[in-house]
Amino acid sequence: MGRKVAFITGGSRGIGKEIARKFAQNEYNIVVNYVSDKTDVAELEKELNQNGNVEVLCVKGDVTDFSTCEQMVKDAIEKFGTIDVLVNNAGITKDNLLMRMKEEDFDKVINVNLKGTFNMTKNVISYMMKQRNGRIVNISSVVGVSGNSGQANYSASKAGIIGFTKSIAKELASRNILSNAVAPGFIETDMTDVLSDTVKESINSQIPLRKMGKAEQVANAVYFLGSEENTYITGQVLNVDGGMIM
Ligand code: NDP
């Protein structure tokens, strides 16, 4: 039997890149998606495949577009013949108080975070159903559970992901496809780099472990839920947040 294959959306930076690296370290072949022209594909492949013993396919495409997702999945199947794990990680923020939030900023965040998750999952499950095995891990956020001032669009998208994850866990369990969500707290990446030191200090004071998390700490949880080590957990939300939400 060939190597297992993990498909990670938004794998060019931050949490997604660490998730891809973790699966590669565990000898999965990797498909990473990204959207911007800034990505140096050769460098990314090298970074992900540090052991040099797995294959990495980088696919550029916007997850908000259904037919693009269909094509990216086809490309992955053509190269590797299977997708065993799908990690819906691509995500953006466009924060503002609701009073000032533009309609387009609401739509954009819902489209990338929630509709993107639908687009990818819908295209992958037919393959997983045929092989009667699969793991789906969706990246939500603690604010999808708790809400957050200035993030009505983002929190709604991340809460939506939780409802989606639980629904498909029920639909797909009979085919041995397990679907779970990971809800990170505040993790050091480009997304949180924009926060001021004052905001970061105030966030840290609300975290029992008193510090922001690292992408690798999220990747460890995603790997566990997405790997064959997980055979009996489905429809769950695992917080990786230093104890912020209990
Ligand atoms: P980054 O901003 O560091 O990276 C975002 C990734 O998503 C990049 O790879 C980017 O690709 C990709 N991406 C963005 N838009 C699209 C799109 N339309 N189609 C395909 N790919 C896209 O984010 P993080 O690593 O911080 O976040 C990863 C996930 O974790 C997100 O879902 C985020 O909401 C969630 N999260 C993050 C937290 C944090 O504190 N950082 C906390 C809770 C949840 P490119 O490089 O090409 O732009």
- Give 95-139 pLDDT, tens digit per residue: 999 999 999 999 999 999 999 999 999 999 999 999 999 999 999
Nearest to 89 by CA among 12, 173, 188: 12
How high is the pLDDT of residue 50? 81
Residue 192 in contact with ligand 1 by CB distance below 6 A? yes
Q: To test ligand 1's pocket by mutation, which of 114, 189, 216 has the most ligand atoms within 8 angstroms of CB?
A: 189
> Quick one: tokens of 128?
């997983």
Q: To test ligand 1's pocket by mutation, which of 31, 34, 216, 241 has the most ligand atoms within 8 angstroms of CB?
A: 34
Ligand 1 atom with least separation from CA of 218: 30
Residue 193 in contact with ligand 1 by CB distance below 6 A? no
Nearest to 14 by CA among 198, 213, 178: 213
Question: Once rounded to an integer, what is the mean pLDDT over residues 22-38?
Answer: 96
Question: Once rounded to an integer, what is the mean pLDDT over residues 16-45?
Answer: 96
Question: Once rounded to an integer, what is the mean pLDDT over residues 17-22?
Answer: 97
Question: Once rounded to an integer, what is the mean pLDDT over residues 166-181?
Answer: 98
pLDDT band at 90 (very low <50, low <70, confident <90, very high): very high
Rg of the chain's alpha carbons, rounded to an integer? 17
pLDDT band at 1 (very low <50, low <70, confident <90, very high): low
Mean pLDDT across the chain: 96
Greater pLDDT, 101 or 50: 101
| Active-site residue set | 154
